[in-house]
């Protein structure tokens, strides 16, 4: 059974650094053709894509946030860690991690689609 | 303002059909595969359609996706009360991405 579970703080103060962990079950973060991405959703608003790390360690970031984001993988713990620096109240959102699966006979970052999602974790930024 | 444009809401009576459009450009829908996600109230998004028109295992054929040029469409036939949810399109974007989502469409069953 494939599952993803996000964990981390629920309340942050402005300027702090947010660190979230995505724990994976049923698949390996380093398996060929796998990626793990982060997506967030402010209350009552649309989904916003943030970052992805691929099975080979390659990473992609949202252009508007790339200076604040870092995504890494821990193959021993089978986890993906996401950090966002200098948080602000506008960063209040539910943060999801999701598995990216590469379609057959395709190479490149545009070959992945998100087939399994975690339940999400709500992070509130407030002074 | 989302890169992909969806109508804010659509509605229909039980048993009827609704269609949700997703409009993009050559850098996203025009050159990449489209996915659709269903988000029931208070839950995480769930993959509904991938590669424009493919359904994951367990998704009923009442849900159908298509793509033409720089637009994609999700159709839901035989509408049920359990289909009330927000629906999002998403795809890779070589210019604004890497990945972009639509603004979401709320489906209501009258």
Q: How many CA atoms lie within 13 A of B12 on its CB side?
A: 16
Contact B101 A52 (CB under 8 A): no
Contact A46 B47 (CB under 8 A): no
> Which residue, B18, B103, B34, is CA-closest to B68?
B34
Q: How confident is the model at residue A108 (pLDDT cuts 50, 70, 90)?
A: confident
Q: Which of A94-103, B32-41, B51-60, B96-105 has the lowest mean pLDDT?
A: B96-105
SS3 assignment for A22-52: EEEECCCCCCCCEEEEEEEECCCCCCEEEEE
* Chain B: residue whose CA lies nearest to A103: B51
pLDDT at residue A99 tops 80:
yes
Which residues of A fall within a CB distance of 8 Å from B97?
Answer: 49, 60, 63
Contact A47 B37 (CB under 8 A): yes
CA distance B46 to chain A (A): 7
d(CA A73, CA B10): 40
Could you count the other beta carbons within 10 Å of the beta carbon of residue A53? 25
Q: How confident is the model at residue B14 (pLDDT cuts 50, 70, 90)?
A: very high
Q: Tell me what the mean pLDDT of segment A25-44 comes to.
A: 95
d(CA B52, CA B74): 9
Q: What is the pLDDT of residue A60?
A: 93
pLDDT at residue B66 tops 90:
yes
Q: What is the pLDDT of residue A106?
A: 83
Contact B101 A115 (CB under 8 A): no
pLDDT at residue A120 tops 80:
yes
Q: What is the pLDDT of residue B33?
A: 94
User: B29 phi and psi, to 5 degrees?
Assistant: -60, -35
Mean pLDDT, chain B, rounded, equals 95
Which residues of B fall within a CB distance of 8 Å from A47?
Answer: 37, 45, 88, 90, 101, 104
Q: Tell me what the mean pLDDT of segment B22-43 comes to.
A: 96
What the block records as the tokens of B15 is 């048993």
Q: Tell me what the mean pLDDT of segment B37-66 comes to.
A: 97
Which residues of A fall within a CB distance of 8 Å from B51?
Answer: 103, 113
């Amino acid at each position: 059974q494939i599952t993803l579970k996000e964990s981390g703080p629920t309340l942050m103060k402005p300027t702090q650094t947010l660190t979230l962990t995505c724990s994976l079950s049923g698949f390996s973060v380093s398996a060929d053709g796998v990626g793990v991405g982060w997506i967030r959703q402010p209350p009552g608003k649309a989904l916003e894509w943030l970052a992805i790390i691929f099975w080979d360690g390659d990473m992609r970031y949202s252009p508007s946030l790339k200076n604040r984001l870092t995504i890494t993988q821990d193959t021993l713990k089978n986890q993906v860690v996401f950090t966002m620096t200098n948080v602000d109240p506008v960063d209040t959102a539910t943060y999801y991690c999701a598995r990216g699966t590469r379609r057959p006979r395709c190479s490149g970052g545009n070959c992945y689609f998100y087939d399994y999602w975690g339940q999400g974790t709500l992070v509130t930024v407030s002074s | 303002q989302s890169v992909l444009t969806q109508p804010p809401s659509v509605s229909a009576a039980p048993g009827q059909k609704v269609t949700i459009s997703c409009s993009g450009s050559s850098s996203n829908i025009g050159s990449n595969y489209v996915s659709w996600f269903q988000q029931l109230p208070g839950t995480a998004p769930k993959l509904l359609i991938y590669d424009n028109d493919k359904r994951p295992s367990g998704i009923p054929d009442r849900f159908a996706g298509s793509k033409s040029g720089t637009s994609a469409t999700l159709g839901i036939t035989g509408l049920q009360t359990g289909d009330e949810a927000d629906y999002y399109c998403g795809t890779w974007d070589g210019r604004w991405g890497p990945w972009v989502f639509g603004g979401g469409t709320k489906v209501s069953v009258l």
